[in-house]
Amino acid sequence: MNFVVIGGDAAGMSAASRAKRNLQDWNITVLEQSGDVSYSACGMPYNIADPGRELDDLVVRQAHVFREKQGIDLRTGHCVEFIDRQGKTVTGKDLQGTEFRITYDKLLIATGASPIMPDLPGFDLEGVMALKSLESGRRIKDFISSRDVKKAVIIGMGYIALEMSESLRARNIEVSMVKPRPVFLPWMNAQLSEIVKEEVNSHGVTLHLGQQIKGIEKNGDNYLGVICEGMDIDCQMVITAVGVRPNSQIAANAGLELGLQGAIAVDRTLMTSDEDIYAAGDCADAYHVVTGEKTWIPLALRANRAGWAVADNLSGKKVELQGLAGTAVFKVFDLQVARTGLSLPEAARFGFDPVEVVIKSRSRAHAHPGSHPIFVQMVGDRKSGRLLGTQLVGKEGVAHRINAAAVALHQKMSVKAFSQCDLAYAPPFSPVWDPMLTAANQILKKM
């Protein structure tokens, strides 16, 4: 039997490695269009901040290890261009332009997602880059060093954009951030969003909200001009971070069903509309554990878990993934920012009767040195009593607290049940009433 995987990062290599363990008599072939596999893309902003580190430090497992120790036929520099579902073959070209054709019995599409590049003049100029692949990280890091970049513009204000603002400031680069929409973090509670905004401003990052971008122009030999409707910004480098879209075109061309935002539609076993083809990672959709509806939220853990599930299903052990809650955490300067589940507007949009509270507590017991304020937003459903979502902001104690709420969402716990959880207490780590419990108790009063 031939198992062919298109894509060699998180989902693809997880599936290939597990399949090789479970199905030792199968031929496992991975086709990756770049030269890199199995790397920590989420670590790139932090690596770029340190000119002394190599980007290759982020590679978790080198390609030769998969080939020599695991017996996986890993072919880098191989771009798949077409899937023939009737003939059960994939065709494409390698870096030398040589065509290849490979037959499969089972196929996994794990092509990930690509950065959205605005369809505006100048976004193809040298010095205008997006951060997604390891190669793009190398280009950005090399460009900063070779051009001695002192001024940069980041277009967008999402997770990657904010992480990159910190990364560039760590290298003493003047940073301006621009976005067309007038709201800083539209998915976040306004009070918490303002705290994050103040943190970014306090570290010398200039924010330009509500600025419609008209294009980018070359301004002399080493400078670019970001042209907005109300202003122009000169810089040496532009980072675009306005989001990503699923790499699903190859699936669409093959006639596979697509779902939300153009992601490949899969069931809970990761099977597509073709029983011999699976899809996993950022190219595929998922189910939301709170709403029960389809969603598309690119997440690293989901990609790895989905790859394992595909391999298990191929080996006859039926695995259905429950779904995801959209749990995420990121660092922006001295703040930790986290979320899981639904925001208040999202909950209303899905038909819940949502109630929201925002509380301010402390990361440690009030008399313990080093304590910092911590803000918790919590959303519950008045009709059912269910916990629907949580957001946290603070200088410490945020990243792991969000996991308690995520577990509660996966178990469909009520706010009342969550408020009775036995959360750990010691003065260096929490008040007696953990901030999560305080928020739960307060929202119970409103519900």
Active site amino acids: 42
What residue type is assigned to position 73 of the chain? D
Residue 332 CA, distance from chain mean position: 15
| Nearest alpha carbon to residue 342 among 310, 388, 311, 407 | 388
Q: In the structure encoding, which two tokens stand for residue 93, read together? A: 């070209």
Task: Report helix, strand or coil for 19.
Answer: helix
List the beta bridge partners of residue 339.
328, 391
Spatial distance between the Cα atoms of 292 and 324, rounded to a whole number of angstroms: 10
User: What separation in angstroms does the CA of 366 have from each of 51, 92, 418?
Assistant: 39, 62, 23
Spatial distance between the Cα atoms of 67 and 8, rounded to a whole number of angstroms: 12
| Nearest alpha carbon to residue 291 among 412, 207, 151, 186 | 412
* Residue 39 near residue 60 (C-beta atoms within 8 A): yes
What sign does the dihedral 358-364-368-369 (CA atoms) show? negative
Spatial distance between the Cα atoms of 188 and 341, rounded to a whole number of angstroms: 12
Hunting for tokens 């978790």 — which residue is that?
A: 60
* Residue 314 near residue 3 (C-beta atoms within 8 A): yes
Spatial distance between the Cα atoms of 238 and 216, rounded to a whole number of angstroms: 9
Beta strands 113-115 and 106-109, pairing class: unpaired
